Amino acid sequence: MLPPQCRVISSCAVIRGEATKGTGTATSPVAQSQSPLGRVGVAAALEEAAAATTVANAEGRKGPTLWDEFSLRDRVALVSGANRGLGLEMALALIEAGARAVYCVDLPTKPGDEWVAVAEYGKRVMGTRGGRLEYVSADVRNQEAMWKVGEEIGNKEGRMDVCVAAAGILRSHTDCLEYPAEEFQEVMSVNTNGVLFTAQAAGRQMVRFGNQGSIILVASMSGSITNKDHAWVSYNTSKSAVLQMARSMACELGSKGIRVNTLSPGHIYTSMTAAYLDKEPHLLEKWSKLNPLGRIGRPDELRGVVTWLASDASTFCTGSDILVSGGHQSW
């Protein structure tokens, strides 16, 4: 016997995905869009419950679970700045979520020892279900080179699904009234122009293959707040620009099914922040006290959020900034 709520809902056109009459729209909300996995969650449960009354001896369907929505099985990704640090951490997360191939773009002609060890580890933990990390040497400041990188990945893989633009630089303290033009330009060139060129490289392939996709631009909490006592005007400006870049791109690309969001970390210990923390150890306590959790973050604390943004678990999320900062900006 069908539970009462299903008896009501199974007769509802919205749940059946049929056209709604007299609303002035051609389709019902359900017909307008559904998860790439078909019915999931409550709709899947109710569909199954409804089918049990009408189909004799109906066998239970094993519907997709939440983990299927997070799966990146067979997806292809491009991650810039992924020879080390947050880029490498996120590249490995995408492999662990099932991606077929993750192309790690960075400056050195050959990947570092850390990258090689991570690529081997990825193969080991994923075994036969696993994809591969590939290394590509390129400079994100070079638009032509980046478009070519994207095109070559497209030629080889026949699709492009995910982009994480993580390459970035932070320079030493410099008084904002004295900031030299050349250095300001250098930071903007990597952190802003380079992010655009990386997003273009992947986005052009997403359009070429029509497989939609998710573009994740790594900004920073420094795009929205100013780090107390740090004279980082170039970095903060470059990250603010990335926040607006993502909103602009999200609006342009939404109709193509391409989502664009920013991921804004707070303080996390990597080579970038080691340049400060290792030289001035008192900064660890200072930075830790600036957020409600009372500590700085670990690179692995971006694994879940990047997988969520890259996957079908976030299909209605675009033009958003996701802060992962221990709550730094809440105070």
Ligand X SMILES: NC(=O)c1ccc[n+]([C@@H]2O[C@H](COP(=O)([O-])OP(=O)(O)OC[C@H]3O[C@@H](n4cnc5c(N)ncnc54)[C@H](O)[C@@H]3O)[C@@H](O)[C@H]2O)c1
Q: Which is nearer to ligand X, 159 or 239 (CB)?
A: 239
Which stretch, 70-78, 204-212, 266-274, 277-285, contacts ligand X (CB under 6 A)? 266-274
Q: Cβ neighbours of residue 158 under 8 Å, at least 6 residues apart?
A: 209
169 within 8 A of 227, measured Cβ to Cβ: no
Site mask, ligand X, residues 103-142, x = CB under 6 A?
---xx-------------------------------xxx-
Q: Which is nearer to ligand X, 154 or 265 (CB)?
A: 265
Which CB, 128 or 330, lies closer to ligand X? 330
Question: What burial class does residue 31 get, using C-beta atoms within 10 Å of its C-beta: 0-12 exposed, 13-18 middle, 19+ buried?
Answer: middle
Q: Pick from 79, 153, 167, 215: which binds ligand X (CB under 6 A)?
A: 167
Candidates 39-47, 62-70, 149-157, 162-170 — which segment interacts with ligand X by CB under 6 A?
Answer: 162-170
SS3 content of the chain, % helix, strand, coil (to 5): 50, 10, 35
Q: Which of 28, 270, 291, 318 contacts ligand X by CB under 6 A? A: 270
Among 163, 267, 314, 323, binds ligand X (CB under 6 A): 267
Residues recognised as catalytic: 220, 235, 239
In angstroms, the Cα distances linking 194 to 177, 205, 239 are 25, 17, 12
Q: At what angle do helices 143-157 and 194-209 cross, to 10 degrees?
A: 30
Count of residues interacting with ligand X (CB under 6 A): 27
Please select the residue that binds ligand X; options are 40, 72, 94, 166, rule is CB under 6 A: 166
CA distance 320 to 307: 15
Using rule CB under 6 A, residue 218 touches ligand X? yes
Binding segment (CB under 6 A) for ligand X, from list 119-127, 149-157, 247-255, 264-272? 264-272
Say how far apart CA 271 and CA 87 lie, in whole Å: 12
Q: Which is nearer to ligand X, 76 or 216 (CB)?
A: 216
Distance CA 163, CA 204 (A): 11
Q: Under a CB-based contact definition with an 8 Å cutoff, are residues 118 and 93 in contact?
A: no
The least distance separating ligand X from the CB of residue 105, rounded to whole angstroms, comes to 6
Q: Tell whether residue 220 is a contact of ligand X (CB under 6 A).
A: yes
3-state secondary structure at position 79: strand
Nearest approach in angstroms of CB 172 to ligand X is 14
From 50, 99, 162, 190, residue interacting with ligand X (rule: CB under 6 A): 190
Q: Alpha helix locations (H) across the chain?
A: 4-9, 13-16, 29-32, 41-54, 66-70, 85-96, 113-126, 143-157, 181-188, 194-209, 233-253, 271-277, 282-289, 303-310
Residues 74-93 that bind ligand X (CB under 6 A): 80-81, 83-87
Q: Which residues bind ligand X (CB under 6 A)?
A: 80-81, 83-87, 106-107, 139-141, 166-169, 190, 194, 218, 220, 265, 267-268, 270-273
